[in-house]
Protein backbone atom coordinates (compact mmCIF):
# COMPACT_ATOMS: atom_id res chain seq x y z
CA UNK A 1 0.00 0.00 0.00
CA UNK A 2 1.39 3.40 -0.98
CA UNK A 3 -0.62 6.12 0.79
CA UNK A 4 0.32 9.16 2.85
CA UNK A 5 -2.74 8.89 5.13
CA UNK A 6 -2.12 6.34 7.88
CA UNK A 7 -5.89 5.93 8.39
CA UNK A 8 -6.20 4.65 4.83
CA UNK A 9 -3.22 2.35 5.31
CA UNK A 10 -4.73 0.98 8.53
CA UNK A 11 -8.17 0.39 6.99
CA UNK A 12 -6.80 -1.29 3.86
CA UNK A 13 -4.34 -3.37 5.89
CA UNK A 14 -7.20 -4.56 8.09
CA UNK A 15 -9.23 -5.79 5.12
CA UNK A 16 -6.31 -7.39 3.29
CA UNK A 17 -4.93 -9.05 6.43
CA UNK A 18 -8.30 -10.63 7.15
CA UNK A 19 -8.10 -12.47 3.83
CA UNK A 20 -4.56 -13.65 4.47
CA UNK A 21 -2.55 -11.08 2.55
CA UNK A 22 0.63 -9.75 4.17
CA UNK A 23 0.91 -5.98 3.75
CA UNK A 24 3.83 -3.58 3.34
CA UNK A 25 3.27 0.15 3.16
CA UNK A 26 5.00 3.35 2.15
CA UNK A 27 3.97 6.95 2.81
CA UNK A 28 4.84 8.37 -0.62
CA UNK A 29 5.90 7.32 -4.09
CA UNK A 30 9.63 7.50 -3.43
CA UNK A 31 9.27 5.24 -0.40
CA UNK A 32 6.99 2.96 -2.43
CA UNK A 33 9.69 2.42 -5.04
CA UNK A 34 12.28 1.83 -2.30
CA UNK A 35 9.94 -0.73 -0.70
CA UNK A 36 9.61 -2.54 -4.04
CA UNK A 37 13.38 -2.59 -4.44
CA UNK A 38 13.79 -4.15 -0.97
CA UNK A 39 10.88 -6.59 -1.50
CA UNK A 40 10.98 -7.90 -5.08
CA UNK A 41 8.35 -10.56 -4.30
CA UNK A 42 5.52 -8.01 -3.92
CA UNK A 43 2.45 -9.34 -5.77
CA UNK A 44 0.29 -6.20 -6.07
CA UNK A 45 0.41 -2.47 -5.26
CA UNK A 46 -2.47 -0.30 -4.05
CA UNK A 47 -1.44 3.23 -5.02
CA UNK A 48 -2.95 6.45 -3.71
CA UNK A 49 -2.86 9.18 -6.34
CA UNK A 50 -2.60 12.39 -4.31
CA UNK A 51 0.57 12.27 -2.18
CA UNK A 52 3.33 14.71 -1.33
CA UNK A 53 6.82 14.46 -2.80
CA UNK A 54 5.96 12.01 -5.61
CA UNK A 55 2.30 11.49 -6.51
CA UNK A 56 0.76 8.22 -7.62
CA UNK A 57 0.88 9.05 -11.33
CA UNK A 58 4.62 9.78 -11.21
CA UNK A 59 5.23 6.70 -9.09
CA UNK A 60 3.31 4.37 -11.42
CA UNK A 61 5.17 5.75 -14.44
CA UNK A 62 8.51 5.22 -12.65
CA UNK A 63 7.56 1.66 -11.69
CA UNK A 64 6.57 0.85 -15.27
CA UNK A 65 9.93 2.10 -16.59
CA UNK A 66 11.61 -0.82 -14.80
CA UNK A 67 11.40 -4.06 -16.82
CA UNK A 68 11.14 -6.15 -13.65
CA UNK A 69 7.93 -4.39 -12.58
CA UNK A 70 6.18 -3.93 -15.92
CA UNK A 71 3.77 -6.78 -15.18
CA UNK A 72 3.21 -5.91 -11.50
CA UNK A 73 -0.50 -5.22 -10.90
CA UNK A 74 -1.07 -1.67 -9.62
CA UNK A 75 -4.50 -0.54 -8.41
CA UNK A 76 -4.87 3.25 -8.33
CA UNK A 77 -6.94 4.65 -5.45
CA UNK A 78 -8.23 8.22 -5.24
CA UNK A 79 -10.80 10.23 -3.32
CA UNK A 80 -10.94 13.01 -5.88
CA UNK A 81 -12.52 10.88 -8.59
CA UNK A 82 -13.25 13.03 -11.62
CA UNK A 83 -14.26 12.09 -15.17
CA UNK A 84 -11.18 10.86 -16.99
CA UNK A 85 -9.26 9.90 -13.82
CA UNK A 86 -9.54 6.18 -14.52
CA UNK A 87 -8.20 6.63 -18.04
CA UNK A 88 -5.35 8.84 -16.79
CA UNK A 89 -4.43 6.30 -14.10
CA UNK A 90 -4.40 3.47 -16.66
CA UNK A 91 -2.31 5.55 -19.09
CA UNK A 92 0.22 6.25 -16.31
CA UNK A 93 0.63 2.57 -15.48
CA UNK A 94 -2.28 1.45 -13.30
CA UNK A 95 -3.70 -1.97 -14.04
CA UNK A 96 -7.05 -1.00 -12.51
CA UNK A 97 -8.68 1.85 -10.60
CA UNK A 98 -10.84 1.92 -7.47
CA UNK A 99 -12.35 5.21 -6.24
CA UNK A 100 -12.49 6.17 -2.56
CA UNK A 101 -14.36 5.58 -0.42
CA UNK A 102 -13.11 2.08 -1.18
CA UNK A 103 -15.92 -0.45 -1.46
CA UNK A 104 -14.68 -3.72 0.08
CA UNK A 105 -16.51 -5.87 -2.49
CA UNK A 106 -15.02 -3.98 -5.40
CA UNK A 107 -11.50 -3.88 -3.94
CA UNK A 108 -11.39 -7.58 -3.08
CA UNK A 109 -12.85 -8.46 -6.48
CA UNK A 110 -10.20 -6.42 -8.28
CA UNK A 111 -7.36 -7.78 -6.12
CA UNK A 112 -8.46 -11.39 -6.60
CA UNK A 113 -8.89 -10.95 -10.35
CA UNK A 114 -5.44 -9.39 -10.71
CA UNK A 115 -3.67 -11.94 -8.53
CA UNK A 116 -5.35 -14.96 -10.10
CA UNK A 117 -6.70 -13.89 -13.52
CA UNK A 118 -7.25 -17.45 -14.76
CA UNK A 119 -9.09 -18.57 -11.63
CA UNK A 120 -7.69 -20.86 -8.96
CA UNK A 121 -4.80 -23.04 -10.06
CA UNK A 122 -2.57 -25.69 -8.53
CA UNK A 123 0.45 -23.39 -8.45
CA UNK A 124 -1.37 -20.64 -6.57
CA UNK A 125 0.93 -18.19 -4.82
CA UNK A 126 0.82 -18.20 -1.02
CA UNK A 127 -0.15 -14.52 -0.88
CA UNK A 128 -3.16 -14.97 -3.16
CA UNK A 129 -6.28 -14.66 -1.02
CA UNK A 130 -8.24 -17.88 -0.59
CA UNK A 131 -11.50 -17.39 -2.55
CA UNK A 132 -13.60 -18.81 0.31
CA UNK A 133 -11.97 -16.43 2.79
CA UNK A 134 -12.59 -13.51 0.44
CA UNK A 135 -16.29 -14.43 0.17
CA UNK A 136 -16.57 -14.68 3.97
CA UNK A 137 -14.77 -11.34 4.43
CA UNK A 138 -16.87 -9.69 1.74
CA UNK A 139 -20.08 -10.98 3.30
CA UNK A 140 -19.03 -9.79 6.77
CA UNK A 141 -18.40 -6.21 5.57
CA UNK A 142 -20.66 -6.02 2.53
CA UNK A 143 -21.42 -2.46 1.55
CA UNK A 144 -18.89 -1.10 4.02
CA UNK A 145 -16.51 1.61 2.92
CA UNK A 146 -13.04 1.23 4.34
CA UNK A 147 -11.54 4.53 3.30
CA UNK A 148 -13.34 7.83 3.83
CA UNK A 149 -13.65 9.98 0.71
CA UNK A 150 -12.03 13.11 2.13
CA UNK A 151 -8.74 11.73 3.45
CA UNK A 152 -6.10 12.34 0.79
What element of type H or E holds 111? helix 104-115
- 3: confidence class by pLDDT, cuts 50, 70, 90: very high
- 31: confidence class by pLDDT, cuts 50, 70, 90: very high
| Angle made by CA atoms 59, 93, 152, in degrees to the nearest 5 | 50
Q: Whole-model pTM above 0.75?
A: yes
- Per-residue pLDDT tens for 80-139? 778 888 899 999 999 999 999 999 999 999 999 999 877 755 444 444 555 554 444 445
- Confidence at residue 122, expressed as pLDDT on a 0 to 100 scale: 43
Cα–Cα distance between 47 and 78 in angstroms, integer? 8
Residues β-bridged to residue 48: 77
Sign (positive or negative) of CA dihedral 22, 51, 86, 7: positive
Q: Is the peptide bond before 27 cis (omega within 30 degrees of 0)?
A: no
The CATH code of domain 6-140 reads: 3.40.50.2300
Domain boundaries, the chain: 6-140
DSSP state at residue 77: E
Amino acid sequence: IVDDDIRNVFALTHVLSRVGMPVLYAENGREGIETLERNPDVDIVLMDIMMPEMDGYETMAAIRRSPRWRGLPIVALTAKAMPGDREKAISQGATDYVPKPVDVDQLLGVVCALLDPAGSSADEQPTTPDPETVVQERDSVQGESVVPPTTE
